[in-house]
Amino acid sequence: MVRHLLKVSDFTKEECERVINKSIEIKKNPKNYNSSLEGETLLMLFEKPSLRTRISFETGIQQLGGHAIFYSIKDSPLGKKENI
């Protein structure tokens, strides 16, 4: 089952610590993780434009071997002609 994480309080303290520790490990040894997202395509769905966030996510996804797709709600009929 998919777990949606919309805010930091959706994490337990232990989960936050694991995420931070894994982030530190990836930052120290990026070559060990450069194929972690190999074969994966991730959609970035933005309600509001954010160039810094978009570039950061695209860069991170690419560095982990994945493919990023950017999708802006403002340029989309999503929810108007198509059901979500």
Averaged pLDDT for residues 33-59: 92
- Side chain identity at 34, as an amino acid letter? N
Residue 80 structural domain: 35-84
What's the average model confidence in pLDDT over 1-30? 91
> Which pLDDT score, from 0 to 100, does residue 66 have?
97
The domain tally of the chain equals: 1
Label residue 32 by pLDDT band (50, 70, 90). very high
- 26 within some domain: no
CA-to-CA distance for 57 and 71, rounded, in angstroms? 13
Give the position of tokens 């959609």: 43
- Domain presence at residue 61: yes
41 domain-assigned: yes
The pLDDT score that the predictor gives to residue 49 is 79
Amino acid of residue 9: S
Instruction: Specify if 2 maps to a domain.
Output: no
The end-to-end CA distance of the chain, in Å, is 18
Q: What is the pLDDT of residue 50?
A: 85
- Residues 47-74 have a mean pLDDT of 91
